[in-house]
Amino acid sequence: MSLLRKLGSTCVLLAVVLLLVPAKAGVALQAVDQTAAPSGISLPTDVRVQSPGWWPTKGDASRDSYIGAAACAKCHASKVASQKTNAMAQAATRTADSEILRQHDRFTFRLGPYNEEIVTKGEKSVLTVSDEASSLSADLLWAFGVGHVGQTYIYHRNGSYYESQLSFYASTQSLNITPEHSLAVPGNIEDAAGRRLTPAETRRCFSCHTTASVAKDQFDANAAVLGVTCEACHGPGANHAAAMNSGMQEQGELMISNLSRLDPVDSVDFCGACHRTWEDVVANGFTGVGVYNVRFAPYRLENSKCWRKPDARLTCVACHDPHQPLEHEAAAYDSRCLQCHVTQAKAKKDADHPGPACRVSTKNCTSCHMPKIVTPVQHSTFTDHWIRIVVPGKPYPN
C-alpha cells in the first residue's frame, strides 16, 4: 500500500484508535508526521529541526511520550539486544558505568604547573587538579564516548557543566588534552580542570550522545536516557506501543517513524543530524581544514564520484545497520560496491550497474578506496568516506 493511501485511510482509522485505546495522560494518540518534508538536497540540521515532523536532536516531544528501549524490547527483543552492542548505544554513560575508568583507577597527567589525576574508587570518579598553592576537586558525572577513539568527562560546578580538559585516548591508553581545547598551558586552576560549557553547548552535547535529554524544548541532563537508543532515531514510541498493545498494527505503524522511507539525501542528512550533514560542514567552514573533516562521514561520502546521483544503494544504512555492531571486515562491504560496479572490464555499465570495473581487484574494495586517515588531534584513525582512487603522494582532498 502506498504511503499516501496509508495516510489517507488513517484519518478514519485514527478516530477508532482514539476511542479504543486508553490514552496515557497527556499523550494524544495520533500518527506522527513521519519526518521533515523531503528535500532532495542536503540541508543544515538547524533547518531540519525547525521543520515540521520528527528529526533526531529536535527535542519538541513531551517526556511522557518516550517509553525507553526496555519497553520496545517487549516486541522487538532481538533489535534491542543487538543495538546495545553498537557504539551508539554507549555514546554516553554514568562514570560509574565506564569500563575505562574501572580499568584505569588512577590516571595522572602533568599540565604545565598542574598535577591532574582522575581516581576511581567504587562508583565514584574524582578529578583533582593541584598546583603549589591550591587544589580543586570535582566529581565526574558522565563519560562521553564509548572510547574506541576516546572518552571525555563532564562535571558540574557552580551551576554549570564543564568538559574535562583531559580526555582518555584509546591509542595511548592514557590522558591527553581534549580535542578542540587549547594546547596552551592554562592560566588558572579552573581552566586546567576543564572548559565551562554554555547551556546551549551542553544541550547539543547531550542531544547527540543521549536520548530524550530535551523534552518540550526543556533540557534535563538527569532525565536523559544515556546513549543513542531507539527513540533517539525513531522518535517517541508511547503511542506506537499503545496501539500495538491493542492489536492495531496498521495504525501503530504510522505512530512511529519508519526511516526506510526517507529519500537517499534525506536519509544521509538524518544520520547527519549527529554526524553532521554535508551542508552543516560547508556552512561551518570545515571544508578547507584538511584531515580534521574526515570524521564527518556524510560530507566525505557525498563528495564521492559514486554519489553524483544520490542513490539508496549508497546511503549510510546501505553499509551500516544501526541496530548491529560496526562491521570491521572489508570483505563484508564488497557486495555494497558491487551493487553498482561491474567486475569485468568488458562488462557493460547500465542503469543497474552504473559504475565501471576495477582493473586492480575484485574484492576488499574499501581497503584501498576508503583509506584510514590518521587525525593528529584525536590521536586516532577514521575511515575516509570519500570513495576514490588513492594516489600515493597526492594530497588529501577537501
Of 312, 357, 360, residue with least CA distance to 336: 312
Told to check if 121 binds ligand HEC by CB under 6 A, we report no
Binding residues for ligand HEC restricted to 242-301, rule: CB under 6 A: 244-245, 249, 253, 256, 258-260, 268, 270-271, 273-275, 295, 297-298, 301
Binding-site member from 5, 106, 121, 328 for ligand HEC (CB under 6 A): 328
Question: CA quadruple 45, 27, 90, 70: dihedral positive or negative?
Answer: negative
Query: Rounded CA gap, 27 and 4, in Å?
Result: 25
Binding residues for ligand HEC restricted to 329-358, rule: CB under 6 A: 333-334, 336-341, 354-356, 358
Taking CB under 6 A as the binding criterion, the range among 9-17, 73-81, 120-128, 186-194 that sits at the site for ligand HEC is 73-81
Taking CB under 6 A as the binding criterion, the range among 10-18, 72-80, 96-104, 122-130 that sits at the site for ligand HEC is 72-80
Told to check if 144 binds ligand HEC by CB under 6 A, we report yes
Told to check if 316 binds ligand HEC by CB under 6 A, we report yes
> Could you tell me the smallest distance in angstroms from the CB atom of residue 133 to ligand HEC?
29
Task: Print burial letters for 157-172: b (CB count within 10 Å at least 16), e (below 16).
Answer: eeeebbbbbbbbbbee
Cell 530524550 belongs to which residue? 212
Query: Rounded CA gap, 191 and 188, in Å?
Result: 6
Binding residues for ligand HEC restricted to 208-227, rule: CB under 6 A: 208-209
Binding residues for ligand HEC restricted to 176-195, rule: CB under 6 A: none
Binding-site member from 23, 320, 371, 375 for ligand HEC (CB under 6 A): 320
Question: CA quadruple 157, 127, 176, 374: dihedral positive or negative?
Answer: negative
Told to check if 387 binds ligand HEC by CB under 6 A, we report yes
Told to check if 385 binds ligand HEC by CB under 6 A, we report yes
Residue type, 1: M
**Cβ distance to ligand HEC smaller for residue 21 or 80:** 80
CB–CB of 386/305 below 8 Å? no
How crowded is residue 295: how many other Cβ atoms within 10 Å of its Cβ? 21
